[in-house]
Structure 1
């Protein structure tokens, strides 16, 4: 039986309306693709591939040629990402945003680089290099991470599979082997529609890769979670991590986007996280409102951006917090019980714990 998003179970997060799919792909043009790897590697050693790759593209065109405004924000830096230094320095995204497991970062970086080089022969020749953005979480409880099952071709496949359809959620793609609050976590999405005084509506979409938290932290989230049952939960040896990808079609510059990204921490905190010492809590945010050409004969660029005394900015902040919180809960409610290495089992969140 397929699992459900929390709204389908009668729970509502926040006050703002969601987009039609309650997904990051509600932001027009945004694509999401997954490659899921789940199979035994060795019967003798009981090793399993329980991992994958997730790709998020801001539009369907050539992202190197048509960059978008972007930034990142690090709440706690226990992570092994690539590309965030240049992303924050220049405020421009020129590759798909890729998610995978910790030891899969080099292979995914290589595969994404190969994908971009195939489509842009000028990279490294008549123009500069390219900045690949990859985020990760540690799925070694279920995945035989030392065997490094993720290969460069899996990154290419995830990009090629990316579409504007409602994204799969739960134990898929990069989320296949992730654990959240002792239950099965992974990929979760949500979106919000922000009203702008009758002028134009903006959309904020969020996708999370959830892999953090202890069960007792979720139990403290007593708005929606009831007392723990006797179902076995997973006591992971690591603090875990979360990658939050935030997309919007609101015209924001990179500084404004970083302000928006900071509000994702409110949604994360509402679920019970205190951003543990060994947790990588990272937001990658971008705006699709306008693109920046890689080549131009002009020495000036003209951009539109929201005035900061406009009330819509506060509404965007609210949208970031609400969509992050709901995306995390969707990563739990959509995930199915998963078997991995050494016969380990991580149970899905029981619906009877939810206050419906």
Structure 2
């Protein structure tokens, strides 16, 4: 029987002590919407588009404070240099496959020109990871319609995760991965702040959950090991905290750092990028650097959980050339976490995410 995708928390895996937003998703940041278009023929095409759309971008306000951090630049993030230079985001953030990134950027340009018929310059922000292990990437199947549909259909609420949109054909840490998201709510500068993260996971290393390595060689001995060790990760961080571009750059760096918590190898061929933006009204009091620590903690935990959700929500996929990317086997993974004292034994006391029984809660 095919194992259905589940979120990490559905399996009892809780990252850190901070509370989540209502949906435990990037859409918990008010006005941030997510849309997907999945292109999957069940054989050679497993790809798509994921759009993160800040509803705050509009006639009243055509830009938001933003920053990009490049952990390793072996990838394509169209529009990133202007974000670096000016410190603002002017478009939805669109994610897709490597060889489709330029067509996707052109489609975002169409979207922006329709919204601003008097505009003479626009900066689409479009990133990618390489899904060529499972999808016939050279066919470049992404069209303008796919991109516009992902943007137009973007909505609030809990976004679909796993093998959807830009995550339909991705793999990470030896397993089938995809799109994952998470959020945290903290107090900073005497106000409630929401931080949300969304990740397109497609990178190498050894899956590590709550500090416990779960190597694919051991959990899925029959797994296909022909995939490249790199292949990249795109992370989007949104917050309603009033931060400037410099501070958002600090958050973007932490987002890439969080990849190490789940076992990223940061390989030569891995293009690892993070984009952070703020939806706060510009007239709100700015958060001083001295009060950033809770927001930094929220970024680290929400990105870690988003990456885990991208894996646990994914299902096994047979792709082009008959190559198979296996989902993380939930039952085996949970057994290992129980044996390591990171989850309570079935029938034992203690809440999920602690050692259970008499074992103290496990924290970083």
Q: How many residues align?
A: 330
Given candidates 102, 111, 126, the residue that maps to 1:115 is 111
1:99 is aligned, of 87, 95, 103, to 95
* Aligned residues of 2:231 and 2:270 also touching (Cα < 8 A): yes
Do the aligned partners of residues 63 and 79 (structure 1) sit closer, same or farther apart at CA in structure 2, a change above 3 Å counting? Answer: farther
Matched, 1:251 2:242: yes
The residue that corresponds to 1:223 in the other structure is: 211
SS at 1:275's partner residue? coil
Partners of 1:61 and 1:70 in 2: CA distance:
13
Q: Does 1:260 align with 2:251?
A: yes
TM-score, normalised to structure 1, is: 0.88
Displaced runs of 4 or more, over 6 A: none
Alignment map for 1:6-21 (pairs within 5 Å): 6-21=8-23
Asked if 1:132 corresponds to 2:103, the answer is no
Please report how far the alpha carbon of residue 67 of structure 1 lies from its aligned counterpart in structure 2 after TM superposition: 1.3
**Where does residue 322 of structure 1 map in the other structure?**
301
Q: Which residue of 2 aligns with 1:78?
A: 74
Distance 1:230 1:282 in 2: 29
List runs of 5+ in structure 2 lacking aligned partners: 338-342, 344-364
Deviations 1:65-106 (A, max 9, x none): 531111100111101110000001101111100000000111
1-structure distance, mates of 2:209, 2:41: 34
Residues 129 and 202 in structure 2, CA contact (< 8 A), matched pair in contact too: yes
CA displacement 1:137-165 (0-9 Å, x = unmatched): 00001110111111111110100110012
* Contact 1:184 1:335 (8 Å CA) reproduced: yes
Where in structure 1 are there 5+ consecutive unaligned residues?
41-46, 292-301
- Is the contact made by 1:225 and 1:353 (CA closer than 8 Å) also made in structure 2? no
Per the TM alignment, residue 224 of structure 1 is displaced from its structure 2 partner at its CA by: 4.1
Deviations 1:302-354 (A, max 9, x none): 674111223xx101111111111111110000001112111222111100213
User: What secondary structure does 2:297 align onto?
Assistant: helix
From 188, 198, 217, the equivalent of 1:196 is: 188
- Match in the other structure for 2:168: 176
Query: Distance in 2 between the 1:280 and 1:64 partners?
Result: 34
Offset of 1:234 from its aligned partner?
3.4
